[in-house]
Amino acid sequence: PFWISFGAGRGPRSSLRCPAPGGRAPGAMEDSLAILPSSMGKQPPGAQPKKVDARKFIPAQKGGLLLSDPKAEECPYTFSDSPAYLRNKKAEEEAKRAAELEGKEETRGFLRSVEELARKQRWEEAFQFLERRTAAPSGLFLVTRAVLRWKFGKHRGALSDAQHALQQYSSSAKAGALAGALACFARICLGSSAQEKGSCSKEMRPLVEAWEHAEEEARRAH
């Protein structure tokens, strides 16, 4: 590069640096990777607030009240997956279920404990818990004990509980129908005829008849 002086005698001397061959000034970056956004300096930093659709907040009637604040900020966080939230929610559900079971006369005093043991697959403890009870407070108690007695091979006691529940609590919408179905299935499994089909619910009666028919066909085949 070279320098050209001009304007001699007309004031301060000015100098012009001639560009290097190729049209680029010496020292210029050959490959510039920095690309500045077009909005740089025009918007404040950070997330920009979302535009609110004003039509969602216009009252249906003239002079009506706003049902929500159009300037309210949305919370970007959620606590539905928090371990503490899930733990508290589970405790609330268990407390609600316990209050429901203890608040009903048919399930008070036994079904809550049986459900907790059954959820942990501790069936023998649930069976022993009911066996220690000397009094039968409700028909659902008898049906529950009959199921556990059948599970642990106490077939005679299971059928006795089912028949007792059917005789004493046949008017109960839950205990009567369950006791009738359980007595029918117990008799079929023991090789007898189902005598309590009339006490079964409308949905359960076809199942009892189909099972009884299948057992008869199996006995004939052997």
Q: How far is 112 from 98, CA to CA, in rounded Å?
A: 6
Q: By the 8 A CB rule, do 139 and 106 touch? A: yes
DSSP string, 153-182: T-HHHHHHHHHHHHHHSTTSTTHHHHHHHH
Count of CB atoms within 10 A of residue 109's CB?
14
* Total-model pTM: 0.57
Sequence-separated contacts (24+) of 153-159 with Cβ below 8 Å: 155/186, 155/189, 155/190, 158/182, 158/186, 159/183, 159/186, 159/187, 159/190
Tell which residue, 147, 136, 61, has the closest CA to residue 106.
136
Q: Estimate the crossing angle of helix 175-189 against helix 139-151, to 10 degrees.
A: 30
Q: How far is 1 from 46, CA to CA, in rounded Å?
A: 47
56, β-bridge pairs:
none
* 34 vs 102, more confident: 102
Q: By the 8 A CB rule, do 117 and 126 touch? A: yes
pLDDT band at 121 (very low <50, low <70, confident <90, very high): very high
DSSP string, 25-71: -TT--SS------TTTTTS-SSPPPPPP-GGGGS-SSTTPPPSS-TT
The number of helices, as runs of H, and strands, as runs of E, in the chain is 7, 2
* 32 vs 156, more confident: 156
User: For residue 111, is pLDDT > 80?
Assistant: yes
Q: How far is 106 from 123, CA to CA, in rounded Å?
A: 21
User: For residue 117, is pLDDT > 70?
Assistant: yes
Most confident of the ranges 75-79, 133-137, 144-148 = 144-148
CA atoms within 13 A on the CB side of 211: 19
pLDDT band at 82 (very low <50, low <70, confident <90, very high): confident
Of 17-31, 77-91, 163-177, the poorest mean pLDDT is in 17-31
Tell which residue, 187, 101, 190, has the closest CA to residue 144.
101
